[in-house]
Amino acid sequence: MTSVESSDREALVVLGMHRSGTSLCAAMLTIAGADGPKDPLPANEYNETGHWEPRRLCQLHDEMLSAMGVDWQTPFTFPEGFLTSAKVAPYRDRLRALIGEEFGDSRLFCLKDPRISRLLPLWKHIFASEQIAPKYVIVIRNPLEVADSLKHRSPMHWSVATMLWLRHILEAELGTRGCDRMFVTYDDLLADWRTVLREVGRQFRISWPRRMSEIDVDFDKIISRSLRHHVRNLRADGRELSSLVKDTYDASVAAAQSGADAQIPEFDRIFAQLREADRAFEPLFMVERARWAEEIAGLRKIAPEQQDAGFPERLEAANAQLALLGQERDRLLGELSGMQSRIDELTGLAASRERDLDEARTELEGYRLVRDALAAAEERVLAMSSEVALVHAELSSGAD
C-alpha cells in the first residue's frame, strides 16, 4: 500500500452525478498512486475503461436505499432523518467493514460512487469513526451532456436526469462545506488533466507516489479511449432547462475556477428555491409513486396465478418454434438475396439491350432521313424532266 506525508489516513472521495466524468477522475487519482478497490466494478459497454469503484459498494448502497423506499433515481430530497434512522445502522457497519476489506490499511486511497454525493452525512460519520481524512473532488459536467449520456444507457427523460444532476451537485456542495474540497470540470479533465492532477496535489498537500512520466504512460491509455460522445451548449440547447440547473452549473464552473467558498451564497439561494419547489411538488410525486408501487405489486401477484402447470413446457415449445421460424426467415432472406442478384443482372442486361435499341433507332432514323431526302430529290428530278420536255416541245413548234 502507498503512503503520504501526513500521519492520518486519507481518502480522495470523488463526487458528482453519474456520467459526469467521475470514473475518469478516479482513474487519474488511482493511476497517480492512490490505492483503488480490490474488487472494482468491471468495465462494460457504457464505461469501457472501468468504473474505478468498489463493486460491492454500489450493491450495498442500492440495497440500503431500497430498504428506505427510495433509489438513486429519486429526484427529491431523501426523507428527513433518513440517514440517522435505526434502519441505516446495520448498513453503516457494513460500509465500515467494506472499507477495510477493499482498502485494508491504505494511507491514501480513492473512493468513488456517485451515490455518495447524496449520502454524505452517513459517510462523514464513517470517516470520523475510522479516523480517515476525506478530501473531496466534485466533478462537474454540462447537465445536458449528462442527460444525453444517461438516455443512451437507459430510457431516462432529460427532465429527470437534469433534476438528479442538480440534487447530486447541490447536496455534494452542501455536505462538503468546511472540508478539504475542490471542484473539477469534465472539460478540464479532458483538455489538461496534468494541470488538474497537480492542483489536486497542491490543494490537498499530497505528494503523489508516482512520477508524472509514469502517470503519463498509463493514464494516456485511459483518456485516449474516453471519447466524448455527447457535446452540448447549455445556453443554445438548454432553453427548456430550469434556471436552477443553469445557475448551479455556472456557480460550479466558477467554483472550479476560483474556489467554492466564494459561491456559497449563490448555492444557498438556489438550494432555498429548490426546497420551496419540493414543498409544492414532492407530496404529489409521493402519491403517484405509491400508486405505481401498488399497480406493480398487483401485477406481480397476478402473474404466478396465470402460469398453470403446463406453462414451462409451452414456453419451451414456443421458444423452439421461434428458433425454427428464425431459421426459416434466414433461409428466405438468403433466397431473396439470390433473387435480388438475378434481378440486378437482368436489369443490367435489359439496360444494355435498351442502349442497343436506342442505337438501332438512331441508325434507322438516319436511314429514314436519307430515304426522305432521296424521295424529295426524285420528285425534283421528275419535275425538272417535265419542264425540260415542255421546253423541247416549245422549241420544236417554233422551228416549224
Q: What is the pLDDT of residues 66-78, one digit of tens each?
A: 988 888 888 888 8
128: helix, strand or coil: helix
Instruction: State residue 337's pLDDT score.
Output: 47
Cα–Cα distances in Å, from 222 out to 31, 215, 218? 10, 11, 7
- Using the CB atoms, write b or e for 167-185: b if 16+ within 10 Å: bbbbbbbebbeeebbbbbb
Instruction: State residue 5's pLDDT score.
Output: 43
Tell me the average pLDDT across 186-190.
Answer: 93
Q: Given a cut of 90, is residue 143 above it in pLDDT?
A: yes
Q: Given a cut of 70, is residue 318 above it in pLDDT?
A: no
Instruction: State residue 1's pLDDT score.
Output: 44
Work out the number of other CB atoms within 10 angstroms of the CB of residue 55: 15
Report percent pLDDT > 90 for the chain: 44
* Of 222, 99, 98, 120, nearest in space to 168 by CA: 120
Reported as a pLDDT band with limits 50, 70 and 90, residue 335 is low
Instruction: State residue 248's pLDDT score.
Output: 97
Instruction: State residue 306's pLDDT score.
Output: 58
Could you tell me the CATH number of the domain that includes residue 31? Answer: 3.40.50
Winning range, highest mean pLDDT, from 82-96, 317-331, 360-374: 82-96
345 within some domain: no
319 within some domain: no
Q: Given a cut of 60, is residue 24 above it in pLDDT?
A: yes
Q: Given a cut of 60, is residue 61 above it in pLDDT?
A: yes
Half-sphere exposure of 112 (CA within 13 A, CB side): 32
Q: Quick one: angle between helices 243-258 and 158-175, nearest 10?
A: 40
Question: Residue 172 is part of which domain span?
Answer: 9-298
53 within some domain: yes
180 within some domain: yes
Higher pLDDT, 396 or 283: 283
Instruction: State residue 8's pLDDT score.
Output: 80
- pTM of the full structure: 0.70
254 within some domain: yes
Instruction: State residue 398's pLDDT score.
Output: 61
Tell me the average pLDDT across 182-198.
Answer: 94
Q: How many domains does the chain have?
A: 1
Instruction: State residue 227's pLDDT score.
Output: 55
Which of 38-47, 65-74, 219-228, 305-314 shows the lowest mean pLDDT across its residues? 305-314
Reported as a pLDDT band with limits 50, 70 and 90, residue 381 is low
326 within some domain: no
364 within some domain: no
Cα 196 to Cα 201: distance, rounded to the nearest angstrom: 9
Q: pLDDT by residue (tens digit) across 261-287?
A: 999 999 999 999 999 988 888 777 777
Which of 17-31, 124-138, 372-386 shows the lowest mean pLDDT across its residues? 372-386
Higher pLDDT, 252 or 77: 252
Which of 4-13, 61-70, 151-160, 389-398 shows the lowest mean pLDDT across its residues? 389-398
Cα 249 to Cα 234: distance, rounded to the nearest angstrom: 9
Q: Residue 254: exposed, middle, or buried by beta-carbon count in 10 A (0-12, 13-18, 19+)?
A: middle
